[in-house]
Amino acid sequence: MTARRTALVDAVSGQISGSKPYTFLTPGETASAAFDSAPLTRLREIKRARDPRGVIRANYPVLG
């Protein structure tokens, strides 16, 4: 089983980003676990510009 798993990881390693999908975050994690710094910075800029009062909320806030 370990050899098969290793072969699978080797086969898809070029496609793996190393970050966790945003929808797979668990309690205690932040949006930074799902996004690199450049996209996270952009998301934060959009959030501040489009929702300055913080009306739209998420379980894993982009600003938090």
Domain residues of the chain, as ranges?
A: 34-63
**22 and 39 Cβ atoms separated by less than 8 Å:** no
User: Model-level pTM?
Assistant: 0.66
pLDDT tens-digit profile of 30-45?
888 899 899 999 999 9
Q: Which pLDDT belongs to residue 6?
A: 87
Dist CA 27 CA 49 (whole Å): 27
Which pLDDT band holds residue 13 (cuts at 50, 70, 90)?
confident
Q: Which pLDDT belongs to residue 39?
A: 92
Q: Which pLDDT belongs to residue 30?
A: 87
Which residue pairs, CB below 8 angstroms and at least 24 apart, start in 32-35? 34/60
Percent of the chain with pLDDT over 90: 30
